[in-house]
Amino acid sequence: MNHSQNIPFLDLVTPHVELEQELTAVFQQVIRTAGFIGGPMVETFEKEFAAFCHTERAVAVNSGTDALRFALMAAGVKKGDVVVTVPNTFIATTEAISQAGALPEFVDIDERTYNMDATKLREYLESHCTVSEEGKLISKRSKRPVTAIVPVHLYGQMADMDAILELAEQYRLLVVEDACQAHGAEYFSRKQNRWFQAGSMGRAGAFSFYPGKNLGACGEGGAITTNDARLADTCKMIRDHGQAKKYYHDIEGYNGRLDSIQAGILSVKLKHLAGWNAKRRERAAEYNRLFAASEGGVRTPYEPSWSRAVYHLYVVRTEDREGMMAHLGKSGIGTGIHYPIPLHRQRAYESLGYKVGDFPVTEKVASEIVSLPMFPNLTADQQGRVVNEVARFLQTALATTK
């Protein structure tokens, strides 16, 4: 074992080098036919990805942000609506809501899963909304109609969908899953007594194929999954300037198509996704075991019995987060924070009028979380070094505070 070797936060090189021949064959095939946009490679990938997600349909688009935006628009979210989500997510979640013409409003997260807390959602719907004379659910905060919920399956673990879907049904709200970090994550519905794939429980699911995601393109990419054929067809129109037939524009749309090269590349990589996810789960279990043996100091991820997470990120919590990251950095270990500033505290959302203390769980968690190196080919030796350095840091920190 070479102790001087750095441990990256993410290794994107190895999986692509391993698949280099297959990936370059895609490129060759595309340049020989010059079928750069759409066509059979995109259609094939859509069928394969829908099968992977156990949905009837998948519509490939050019990013996860567009997937979410198009899904919300196609599901019927309108200008001036309110869409409820969490402040502990990447800004793309709320950008998509705003770009669909709606206003994001937040509910806090669960302190153990870091995902939407269904009890907070219930509280929001019961106490922070009223029902108008026409029977519409109106947000007291913005006086606008609440029409949809976007649960985010953050870090590769699904939100508690049974509870969220039950509230959605009760209040007649649409649910679009932000599954951009959760390709292949699973959820056991106690209500339906079976496992579900991420992206198959809401009206639609949105996925990102940004290179660092569990399934990543060699560039940008995204997809919408759904069992609703009409919603899928509307998304296909929206991604292609609102046309189903060339130059016949039923609505205004966007240029949101996926490149054929990226679709071909994604088909090659999709064959490995289940295996890569299984390895991520093994790596997470190894971290958990090593941290348990090193006698605590950090809080390791919580996976409820109803969840099979795919560990897009392995996130731990500690009080002196900055100190720990600096120490790990000096030891050549890459780390990240997902995310340091909750969305309601971002300058971009000053106009929403939220203040410090509005989402105490998110705020507390955001100051303590650290993402450790996590990728399928991370080795047990590397993990041993990460956990040793964390333990060494915590011991020194403890000794200096005594």
Ligand X SMILES: *Cc1c(COP(=O)(O)O)cnc(C)c1O
Residues that bind ligand X (CB under 6 A): 63-65, 89-90, 92-93, 152, 178, 180-181, 208, 210, 222
C-alpha distances in angstroms, 174 versus 38, 65, 169, 253? 29, 18, 8, 21
User: Measured from the CB atom, is 222 or 253 closer to ligand X?
Assistant: 222
For 303, the token pair is 């996976």
Residue nearest ligand X by beta-carbon distance: 64
Encode burial over 279-304: b for 16+ CB neighbours within 10 A, e otherwise: bbbebbebbeebbeebeebbbbbebe
CB of 223 to ligand X, least distance (A): 10
CB of 37 to ligand X, least distance (A): 18
> At CA 158, angle to CA 41 and CA 306, rounded to 5?
125
Q: Please provide the DSSP assignment of 142-197 as one string.
A: T--BEEEE--B-GGG----HHHHHHHHHHTT-EEEEE-TT-TT-EEEETTTTEEEE
- Phi, psi of 7, rounded to the nearest 5 degrees: -110, 110
User: Measured from the CB atom, is 62 or 234 closer to ligand X?
Assistant: 62
User: Measured from the CB atom, is 159 or 237 closer to ligand X?
Assistant: 159
Residue tagged 């000096």 (tokens): 330
CB of 89 to ligand X, least distance (A): 5
CB of 248 to ligand X, least distance (A): 29
Region for residue 109 given its phi and psi (left: phi exceeds 0; alpha: psi -120 to 50; beta: otherwise): beta
Q: How far apart are CA 220 and CA 191, in angstroms?
A: 36
Asked if 227 and 71 touch (Cβ cutoff 8 Å), the reply is no
Residue 35 CB contacts under 8 Å (≥ 6 apart), including other chains: 41, 260
CB of 190 to ligand X, least distance (A): 25
User: Measured from the CB atom, is 15 or 211 closer to ligand X?
Assistant: 211
CB of 214 to ligand X, least distance (A): 10
Q: How far apart are CA 283 and CA 215, in angstroms?
A: 17
Q: How far apart are CA 296 and CA 313, in angstroms?
A: 20
User: Measured from the CB atom, is 45 or 210 closer to ligand X?
Assistant: 210
DSSP helix/strand/coil, 101: coil
CB of 65 to ligand X, least distance (A): 3
CB of 258 to ligand X, least distance (A): 11
Q: Peptide bond before 339: cis, by omega within 30 degrees of 0? A: yes
User: Measured from the CB atom, is 105 or 178 closer to ligand X?
Assistant: 178
User: Measured from the CB atom, is 92 or 369 closer to ligand X?
Assistant: 92
User: Measured from the CB atom, is 222 or 264 closer to ligand X?
Assistant: 222
CB of 61 to ligand X, least distance (A): 9
Asked if 150 and 85 touch (Cβ cutoff 8 Å), the reply is yes
Q: Please provide the DSSP assignment of 223-255 as one string.
A: EEEES-HHHHHHHHHHHBTTEEETTEESS---B
User: Measured from the CB atom, is 183 or 385 closer to ligand X?
Assistant: 183
